[in-house]
Amino acid sequence: MKRLMESPAPKPFLFNFWKHHFLFLLNEIKTFSSEFESEALRSPMQKIGNSTTDLYTGTMSIPEISEFCKSKLVEDSRFEKDSYTKWIRQHPESYREMLFPDQSVWILKIGVEKERHIHIHPGRNVRHTVRVKANILKTAYLANLFAYKYQKSPMDIDLINLLRKDVLDLSPIKFVTMNHELGKMIYLFGENLGIFNT
């Protein structure tokens, strides 16, 4: 499970790939090879946190996102820590927006981790971004992880509630449909994994 915690974003970028990058989550489902132990699954899910998040659903990889951002900052002489920090702090709310080639908009802030001073995440209500509650994202990810490996339905309410209880420490739900946020997120994963393509 250690592999899952290593950042695909090069330094000095701080990027929470678990809560902000849909293609990363899909790839983790496809390549997951560890045993399904509650503790092992719980650790990466904690990276998603407990609040609402903005999930990038576009096609740019994490290295591509980092490289484009770097090129723009270098071009404007804002890549180094001192110049970058000064630029961010000049904004009244201490952040900047950057438009990417696929028309997605990303937010740049000051990173707090050592050697990662460029904190980047998707913008809210912009192209190629879905806003989703953290527990919805966790549940949808885990349901599709099990469905993909064991050829089950990720909409199976018993499976969903088992994962919510054993891995996420969440209350059970009575049902899930395509009209609810959880159903829509489960389908987004399942469709891209080929689970619903029959």
Question: In what helix (H) or strand (E) does residue 59 lie, and over which residues does it extend?
Answer: none
d(CA 80, CA 86): 10
The Cβ of residue 50 has, within 10 Å, a number of other Cβ atoms equal to: 10
d(CA 163, CA 29): 15
> 132, 148, 135: which is closest to 189 by C-alpha?
148
What is the average pLDDT value for the chain, to the nearest integer?
92
Residue 197 has pLDDT above 90, yes or no: no
pLDDT tens column, 116-159: 999 999 999 999 999 999 999 999 999 999 999 988 899 999 99
Residues 30-55 have a mean pLDDT of 86
Residue 109 has pLDDT above 60, yes or no: yes
Q: Structure pTM?
A: 0.92
> 111, 112, 107, 88: which is closest to 97 by C-alpha?
107
- Decide: helix, strand or coil at residue 171: coil
pLDDT tens column, 5-33: 567 899 999 999 999 999 999 999 998 86
Task: Determine the angle formed by the axes of helices 22-31 and 134-150, rounding to 10 degrees.
Answer: 30
pLDDT tens column, 151-187: 889 999 999 999 999 999 999 999 999 889 999 999 9
- Structure tokens given for 145: 């992880």
Tell me what pLDDT residue 97 has: 98
